[in-house]
């Protein structure tokens, strides 16, 4: 793989995990409104099933993302994993020293992916 392809794959990986970490946002109705409906009608018209289907057990990870996860797990140290996570998932801008480290990591991954 070329460095360009590795960077593209890492950007896809980062976007996928950033989206999963961000969550689903806010509920469209408050808990109080739901409880008032239960009190008035004796039943809620909404289901809480959606609250339990989005846990870590319910995440479907595509093959290309899981491949990158495995390669990162096997070939990188803890510090390198933190740096890659900060750059590609959290979108932090590294220092000059960090940029050199990221390029080194990307070139290692180019040989492994």
Nearest to 26, CA basis, from 51, 61, 5, 47: 51
* 113 residues of the chain, pLDDT tens digit each: 899 999 999 999 999 998 888 765 555 667 777 777 777 766 655 555 555 555 556 678 889 999 999 999 999 999 999 999 999 999 999 899 999 999 999 998 999 88
Q: What DSSP letter does each residue of 55-98 carry, written as one string? A: SGGGPPPPHHHHHHHHHHHHH--HHHHHHHHHHHTS-PPP-HHH
């Amino acid at each position: 793989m070329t460095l360009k392809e590795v960077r593209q794959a890492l950007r896809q990986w980062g976007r996928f995990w950033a989206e999963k970490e961000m969550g689903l946002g806010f509920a469209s109705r408050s808990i109080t409104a739901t409880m008032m409906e239960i009190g008035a009608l004796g039943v809620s018209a909404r289901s809480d099933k959606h609250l339990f289907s989005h846990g870590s057990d319910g995440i479907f990870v595509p093959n290309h993302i899981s491949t990158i996860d495995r390669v990162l797990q096997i070939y990188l140290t803890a510090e390198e994993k933190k740096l890659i996570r900060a750059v590609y998932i959290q979108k932090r801008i590294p220092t000059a020293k960090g940029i050199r480290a990221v390029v080194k990591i990307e070139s290692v991954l180019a040989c492994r992916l």
